[in-house]
Amino acid sequence: MTTPPTSDPSRGIVGDRQLVAVQAFDIARLTAHAVPIVPETFIAVSGLGPKDDSNGSGKTSFLIAVSLLLADPQWRLETNGGRYASGILFRPEAAGVDQAHHASPVTHGYIVGVFAHPDDPATSPLTVWVRIATTAPYLQANWTEGLHVADAPTDHERSIQADALWRELGTRQILSARAMAERLYGTAPRCLTYLDTALRPPVPSLLSQQLTEMEPHDIGRSLIALSGMTPLLEDEEDLRGQALEHQINLDKAQTEHAQALLAEEQVMSGVRAREAARLSLQRGHEAWRRYLAASYRDAHHSDQRIAATMEEEKQAAATAAALVQEAEDHLNSLGSAAELATQEREARQTWSDAQHLARELSNKITELTTQQALLRSQRTTLLPQTQGWDGSGCATAATRLEQRQRDHAKTELQHAEAEDTVTRARTHLHNVEQGRSGQAGRAIDLLSEHRIPAHGLLDQLNVDEAARPEWEPRLAPWQDAIVVEPEHEDQARRLLHAALPGAQIISSDVGHERLPQGIHSTLKVSRFLGTLHERLTPSADGLAVRDRALALTVTGGFPTPLAGREAQLRQARADLAAAQQLATEATESVTAATAALTLAKTQHAAAQAAEELARLSTQEKGLQTKIDELAGRVNKTARDEQELQQTWKEALARHASHEQLLANAKLTLEGASKALKERHRNLAVLERQRSQAAASQWQLHWGGTLEDAVHFLDQAPDQARSSRPAALRRQAEDGLRRAYEHYGIDGTPGADIGQDLRAGEEMMQTFADTDPAGLPALTFTDVTAPLDNRLAGHRDQDEVAAARVTHDQHAREQAIAELATGVATSARNLETLQDMIEKHLDGLFAQISAAFNALDLRSEGHGAKLEHISVRPQGAGDWQWQVIPRWKRSRSGGYVSYRENANSAQVKVHAILLVLAALLADSQTQGRVLILDELGNSLGEVNRKDMLAALRDVARDQHLTILGTCQDSVLADAADVCGELLWFVHASAADIINQPTTAWAFDSNGARTQLTEDWITAGRAHA
Tens digit of pLDDT for each residue in 473-489? 989 899 889 999 999 98
| Averaged pLDDT, 13-35 | 94
- Whose CA is closest to 83, among 176, 196, 171? 176
The per-residue pLDDT for 34 is: 95
Q: How confident is the model at residue 128 (pLDDT cuts 50, 70, 90)?
A: very high
Residue 857: pLDDT band (50, 70, 90) is confident
Give the percent of the chain with pLDDT over 90.
20
- State the pLDDT confidence band at 752, using cuts at 50, 70 and 90: low
Lowest mean pLDDT among 88-97, 634-643, 825-834, 984-993: 88-97
Q: Which residue has the higher pLDDT, 579 or 200?
A: 579
Give one word for 102, left, alpha or beta, with left for phi > 0 and alpha for psi -120 to 50: left
What contacts 884, CB < 8 A, 6 or more positions away?
216, 219, 866, 867, 868, 897, 898
Most confident listed range (233-242, 321-330, 384-393, 653-662): 233-242
pLDDT tens profile 185-194: 987 788 887 7
> pLDDT category, 100, cuts 50, 70, 90?
low
List the Cα angle 841/847/852 in 5-degree steps: 125
Q: pLDDT tens-digit profile of 130-189?
A: 999 999 999 999 999 999 999 998 888 998 999 999 999 999 999 999 999 999 998 778
**The predicted structure's pLDDT at residue 1:** 37
Question: Confidence class of residue 739 from pLDDT cuts 50, 70 and 90?
Answer: confident
Task: Over range 316-339, report the average pLDDT.
Answer: 73
Local structure of residue 75 (DSSP, 8 states): G
In this structure, are residues 128 and 184 in contact, taking their beta carbons and an 8 Å threshold?
yes
| Range from 100-114, 161-175, 272-286, 628-642 that averages highest in pLDDT | 161-175
Q: Is the pLDDT of residue 454 over 70?
A: yes
**pLDDT higher than 50, residue 6:** no
**Residue 49: per-residue pLDDT:** 85
CA–CA dist 1001, 738 (Å, integer): 103
Q: Can you tell me the distance from the alpha carbon of 165 to that of 142, in angstroms, rounded to the nearest whole number?
A: 11
Cα separation, 487 vs 492, in Å, equals 10
Query: 890 pLDDT band (50/70/90 cuts)?
Result: confident
pLDDT of the residue at 631 = 79
The pair phi, psi for residue 458, each rounded to 5°, is -70, -25
pLDDT-derived band at 2, boundaries 50, 70, 90: very low
Is 1007 in a helix, a strand, or coil?
Answer: helix
The pTM for the full model equals 0.47
Residue 941: pLDDT band by 50, 70, 90 thresholds?
low
pLDDT value, residue 680 = 83
The CA angle 968-972-974, to the nearest 5 degrees, is 100
Confidence of residue 1023 (pLDDT cuts 50, 70, 90): very low
Residue 125 — pLDDT band, cuts 50, 70, 90?
Answer: very high
Q: Say whether pLDDT at 8 is over 80.
A: no
Give the bridge partners for 555, in sequence order: 544
User: Collapsing DSSP states into helix, strand and coil, what is residue 540?
Assistant: coil
Tell how far CA 307 is from the center of its chain.
87
CB 576 within 8 A of CB 352: no
For residue 667, give the amino acid letter.
L
- What's the mean pLDDT when you consider all of the chain? 83
Over range 40-53, report the average pLDDT.
88
Work out the pLDDT band at 982, boundaries 50, 70, 90: very high
Residue 940 is predicted with a pLDDT of 61
Most confident of 20-34, 308-322, 817-831: 20-34
429 against 258, higher pLDDT: 258
| pLDDT value at 414 more than 90 | no
pLDDT above 70 for 339? no
Q: What is the pLDDT of residue 997?
A: 92
**Cα dihedral across residues 943, 944, 948, 954: positive or negative:** positive
277: helix, strand or coil? helix
DSSP codes, 758-779 = HHHHHHHHHHHHS-TTSPPSS-
What is the structure's pLDDT at 7?
43
Sequence-distant (6+) residues with CB within 8 A of 219 are 206, 211, 883, 884, 885, 914
574-628 tens-digit pLDDT: 888 988 899 898 898 888 888 888 888 887 877 777 777 778 788 778 878 877 8
* Structure letter (DSSP) for residue 875: T
Lowest pLDDT segment from 412-421, 660-669, 932-941: 932-941
The three-state secondary structure class of 9 is coil
Mean pLDDT (whole number) for 649-672? 73
Is pLDDT at 774 greater than 50 in this prediction? yes
Rounded mean pLDDT, 773-778: 75
- Which of 213, 206, 202 lies closest to 76, judged by CA? 202
pLDDT category, 659, cuts 50, 70, 90? low
51 vs 836: which has the higher pLDDT: 836
For residue 426, give the H/E element and its range.
helix 394-433
Residue type, 931: I
Query: Cα dist. 199→65, 92, 136, 181, 196 in Å?
Result: 12, 16, 17, 19, 9
Residue 4's pLDDT band, with cuts at 50, 70 and 90, is very low
pLDDT for the residue numbered 932: 83
pLDDT band for position 849 (50/70/90)?
very high
Q: For residue range 493-548, what is the model confidence (pLDDT) as tens digits?
A: 998 888 889 899 999 998 888 899 889 988 899 999 999 988 999 988 888 999 88
Average pLDDT, integer, range 762-782: 76
pLDDT tens, residue by residue, 805-842:
888 888 888 998 988 998 899 888 888 888 998 898 89
522: amino acid identity, one letter: T
The answer to whether residue 20 scores a pLDDT higher than 90 is: yes
Is beta strand 980-985 parallel, antiparallel or unpaired with respect to 42-48?
parallel
Model confidence at 928: pLDDT above 80: yes
Cβ neighbours, 10 Å, residue 638: 13
Provide mean pLDDT across the span 443-447.
89
| Nearest alpha-carbon partner for 531 in 464, 475, 466, 483 | 475
Q: For residues 946 and 943, what is the distance between their CA atoms, to the nearest angstrom? A: 5
- Nearby residues of 5 by Cβ (< 8 Å), 6 or more positions away: none
How many residues are there in the chain?
A: 1023
Phi-psi region of 934 (alpha: psi -120 to 50; beta: other; left: phi over 0): left
Which of helix, strand or coil describes residue 339? helix
Crossing angle, helix 695-702 and helix 706-714, to 10 degrees? 60
